[in-house]
Amino acid sequence: MEKVYDLHIHYTFELSLQDTVEIFQEEFTATGTEKYCFLSLPHHVVDGKAELDKTQNVKGLYLKSKFQPNAYAFAGLVHPDEHCDQERIAEAFLAQVEEYLSVGYDGVKMLEGYPSLLKAWKLPLDSPIYDKFYRFMEENGYPILMHIANPQENWDVEQASLQAIEAGRVYDASYPSKAEITAQVFRVMERFPKLKLILAHFGFMSYDIQEAARFMSYPNTLFDVTPGGEQLIRMQKEWVEWQPFWEKHQERILYGTDFYAFPKDENWETAFHRRPKMLRQFFETETEHVYLDESFMGVGLSHSLRNKIYRENFTKLLGEPKPIDEGYLLREAERVLKADDLQYVQQTLHK
C-alpha cells in the first residue's frame, strides 16, 4: 500500500485520551497513514449557540507528542462568548497564535467559516477582528487550514442530501450564502495576498473552476482533497476540464481525509476506512466504485502526481514538526483536562 500523509485529522469523539491514542494507532496502520496533522476544533454550535471545548487544543498537542516524529498539530482560536470589544479581542487572537506557534503547534485550523459558526457569531471571515492574526500568519509563513461554507446544495432544501438534512446542515436566508462566505475569503486574500491559506474540501469550489483558479492565483494558497459533498466525484464528471487544473497546481493540492479515532463499535472498520478508501479508489484506479450512495469512476493519477499529493506537498508545507514545549503542554493539561486524561498525560509524556 502506498503511504499517505494526512493533513486533516480530528479527535472529537467522546473517548478517553488513551483510547484515542490506541485507536489512532490501529487505524493509521490499517490505512497506510504514515504522518498526521491533528486539527483542533474548539468550537461547535449547539441550538444556535457556539460552545467551547477547552480541551481540544491541548489534546492536539499531546497527540502530536505521542506520535512524534511523524505528527503535527494545528491549534484553534478560542473565542469569547461575545465579540463586542473588537480591539481587545483582536489583540487576544494575536497573543494566542504567538503562544501556539512558540510552544509546538505547526499552524492554525479555522472552522470559523462554517455556516453555523458564522451565523452564531455574526463574525465574517474578513472581520478586522482577525487582521492582526492574519498578518502574523502571513508575515511568518505559518499555515492556516480553513473550512469555508459547505456543499452548494445545502443551501437548497430541495437539493440537499438526506445526510445533510438529517444533520441540520441545510441553510436558509438566516445564514450567510455560500457566495458571500467565498467572497469573504477573497477579501481576506486581497488584504493578505501572501497568506499560506489551505482550503479544506477543495473550498467546496468544484462547482466553479474559475473560482478555484482565482483562489490559486495567489502565490501561497492550497487545497486539501478531504471528501465532502462530494467534490471529487463532481470534478470527475468534468475531468477533461479539471485534469489540467490538477496538473497545473499539483504542488499545491494535499491529501486529507477528515480522519477520526472512531469509537470501536460494530461500525468501526467501515467508519475509518470509508474516506481513505474512497480517495485511493479515486486516485489509484480507473474503475467504477461507490461512495455512500453515489457511484464514481477513478481518475488514475500518475505516480508522480500521487507522490506529490500523498506526501511531498505535505512535507514541503510543514517541514519538520516544531519542537514541543512540554512544560506548557503539562500546564495546559492540568488546567483543562479531566482527571483520567490528565493522569494518562502525566504518566506517558516522557515515554
Nearer to Zn ion, 120 or 145 (CB): 145
Q: How far is the CB of 147 from Zn ion (least distance, A)?
A: 6
Nearer to Zn ion, 6 or 138 (CB): 6
Nearer to Zn ion, 36 or 344 (CB): 36
Contact by Cβ (8 Å): 199, 149:
no
Query: For Zn ion, how many residues bind (rule: CB under 5 A)?
Result: 1
Q: How far is the CB of 196 from Zn ion (least distance, A)?
A: 18
Nearer to Zn ion, 55 or 257 (CB): 257
Read off φ and ψ for residue 92, nearest 5 degrees.
Answer: -65, -40
Query: Which position's Cβ is nearest Zn ion?
Result: 258
Q: How far is the CB of 260 from Zn ion (least distance, A)?
A: 9
Nearer to Zn ion, 109 or 252 (CB): 109
* Binding segment (CB under 5 A) for Zn ion, from list 42-50, 67-75, 229-237, 254-262: 254-262
Q: How far is the CB of 203 from Zn ion (least distance, A)?
A: 13
**Interface positions, 130-189, toward Zn ion (CB under 5 A):** none
Nearer to Zn ion, 132 or 147 (CB): 147
Q: How far is the CB of 205 from Zn ion (least distance, A)?
A: 16
Q: For the chain, how many residues are written?
A: 351
Exactly one of 112, 230, 258, 332 binds Zn ion (CB under 5 A); which one? 258
Nearer to Zn ion, 117 or 329 (CB): 117
**Interface positions, 25-84, toward Zn ion (CB under 5 A):** none
The reply to whether 112 sits near Zn ion by the rule CB under 5 A is no
* Binding segment (CB under 5 A) for Zn ion, from list 26-34, 94-102, 255-263, 327-335: 255-263
Q: How far is the CB of 259 from Zn ion (least distance, A)?
A: 9
* Binding segment (CB under 5 A) for Zn ion, from list 92-100, 257-265, 295-303, 333-341: 257-265
Residues interacting with Zn ion, by CB under 5 A?
Answer: 258
